[in-house]
Structure 1
Amino acid sequence: MADPSRNFGEAAARYTAFRPDYPQEIFDFLLAHVTSGRLFAVDLGAGSGQATRNLAGLFSNVTAIEPDGRLVEEARLPANVKIELKAAETAEFAEASLDAVISATAFHWMNQALVCKNAACWLKTGGAFFPFAPDAFQVAGDASDYFTDEFDKWRPYRDRRLVDCYDYEAALKESGVFASVLPYRQTLRHQLPSAAAAGLISTFSFARDYARDHGGEDYFQSVKDTLTRFGETVTFIVPIIGALGVKA
């Protein structure tokens, strides 16, 4: 099976159309622990820019690090964002030059120990590294059993990093490079029209890999048709997990 972390760009338009924006509370948590200033910030694994746009409204200068140019083309980023097409592990910034580094739904795909070490080097005293991501979702209401059955089909296609590398708090603590590590957790409810719910599912790497072997776009059309029969909207219950490391 192909490495899904290399294939996100093929779904770039889907990410832009269907991935919801991150809530402001996430960035409020970041700002509450950044005491170095709001001059320079970096988004590692920026993808189609959902979190980058938030960051650009809070910091004067933002750099989006993303290896797949197809995703960046869909991002529509503000003028104060600089784009660098490279992997997070190869990014380079001057020591003690950044106020914040984030990674939104991407840290589990990275060499976590190396990224932690690099981020701690780049940060100013009082700066923070904050990776966060949605955890396994649930679906409320009549569609719940249907999603449980579909997830059982997707499960063999889930990359092990989606299981083994999701303890962000442990990764930051084990790195030993931050003065303190604070856990973050929030639960969101997204109520989406049936078509948008089916579109969101089509952005999941494991669902796309399953679809490649089971009808391609016809599979996602069947998901959309089934969800429509359940009603006009689908409610996703999504835990957001994360951890924030502070530079002493």
Structure 2
Amino acid sequence: MKDLFSEGSQRYKQARPAYSTQIVKEILKHVPKRNFAWDCGAGSGQFTQLLAPYFEHVVATDISEAQLQQAPYFENVSYQLQAAEQTTIPDQSIDLVTVAQAIHWFDFDAFYKEVTRVLQPQGVLAIIGYGLIQVQDAAINALVQQLYAETLKDYWDSERRYIDELYQTIPFPFHEQAVPELRLEYQWTGQQLLSYLKTWSGLKHYQEHNRNDPLQPISAALQTAAEYLDVTFPVLLRVGIREK
């Protein structure tokens, strides 16, 4: 698993979009037992905090200590520095495994082997993510899409393609359940949009090799844009049940 987000972990926590309770409720429809959950690749706990009210105990793991240090405290949550592919979680002890915006960085075979080991029979795996941002302001949106697809084209890690493909091309060796189409919807200021774009790993790679600021065209356009921008993200959600 790659660690691209330890540096700037506080910015990541502040700038990344928050997940909706609607996502959690859709997942929980498939989870009858709610004793133990494992949030894998938890980062700064963006998804962990939504699980905490529904389970007796949540284990949240990540390979970035800097990210975990940004996570919120809950009495029933244990944050642990562990890789997704090999943990100290006991066999068949987990009712739900979640991975939010992280599975594309994992070694799929090793991770799924670990998930199968720790899940109880009929336990559930939920893969969560969000696709490319869309801005309602057409001019700003065109610049964001150009930044993503043209300016940063050669600077994205190869694993990013799984998000472009809406997580439909990742291996998924579990009994898949039907889920509805969901979106994340926000009203952001221009500064919030820029802060989010600065968390892109492709942007970080670009800045390592170039001196110019690729966000400058967007920054300039925001000077005359509305104070608040309507932005949306398509939710990527796959839910599967471990067979007995």
CA contact (8 A) 1:132 1:243 kept: yes
Partner of 2:184: 188
Q: Deviations over 1:189-223 (max 9, x none)?
A: 2220111111011111112222333448x655774
1:14–1:203 contact (8 Å) kept in structure 2:
yes
Of the three residues 12, 26, 29, the one matched with 2:26 is: 29
Alignment check: 8 A CA contact 1:52 1:77 kept: no
- The residue type equivalent to 1:233 in the other structure is Y
For residue 245 of structure 1, what is the aligned residue in structure 2? Answer: 240
Q: Which amino acid aligns with 2:103?
A: F
**Alignment-derived partner of residue 57 in structure 1:** 53
Aligned length: 239
Q: Paired residue for 2:161?
A: 163
**Offset at residue 181 of structure 1 (A):** 0.8
Matching residue's letter, 2:229: V
Contact 2:86 2:114 in 1 (8 A): no
Contact 1:120 1:129 in 2 (8 A): no
> Contact 2:15 / 2:196 at 8 angstroms: preserved in 1?
yes
Deviations 1:115-172 (A, max 9, x none): 1222122111232010111112222213122212222101211111110475645545
SS in 2 for 1:33: coil
Distance 1:146 1:221 in 2: 10
CA distance in 1 between partners of 2:106 and 2:222 (Å): 34
**d(CA) in 2 for partners of 1:169, 1:147:** 24
In 2, Cα distance between the equivalents of 1:114 and 1:215?
Answer: 39
| Counterparts of residues 77-156 of structure 1 (less than 5 Å) | 77-141=73-137, 142-151=139-148, 152-156=150-154
Counterpart code for 1:88: A
Structure 2: gaps spanning 5 or more residues: none
Distance 1:123 1:233, change over 3 A: same
**What residue identity is the alignment partner of 2:177?**
L
Deviation at 1:52, TM superposition (A): 0.6
Q: Deviations over 1:2-30 (max 9, x none)?
A: x9x32301121111211121001111111
Native 8 Å contact 2:86 2:111 kept in 1: no
CA distance in 2, matches of 1:59, 1:160: 35
User: What is the CA RMSD across the aligned residues, in angstroms?
Assistant: 2.2
Amino acid at match of 2:45: G
Q: Quick one: distance in 2 between partners of 1:211 and 1:240? A: 28
Q: Following the alignment from structure 1 to structure 2, what is the Cα–Cα distance between the partners of residues 164 and 235?
A: 25
Inter-partner Cα distance in structure 2 for 1:130 and 1:18: 23
Q: Per the alignment, in what secondary structure is the counterpart of residue 6 of structure 1?
A: coil
Distance in 2 of aligned mates of 1:234 and 1:154: 23
Could you tell me which runs of 5 or more consecutive residues in structure 1 were left unpaired when the two chains were aligned.
none
Please tell me the residue identity of whatever aligns with 2:4: N
Aligned residue number for residue 212 of structure 1: 208
Q: TM-score, normalised by structure 2?
A: 0.88
Say whether the 8 Å CA contact 2:16–2:196 is kept in structure 1.
yes
How many angstroms apart in 1 are the aligned matches of 2:7 and 2:107? Answer: 23
Deviations 1:46-77 (A, max 9, x none): 01110011111211111111101011111123
The question of whether the paired residues in 2 share the 8 Å contact of 1:49 and 1:76 is answered with yes
SS, match of residue 91 in structure 2: coil
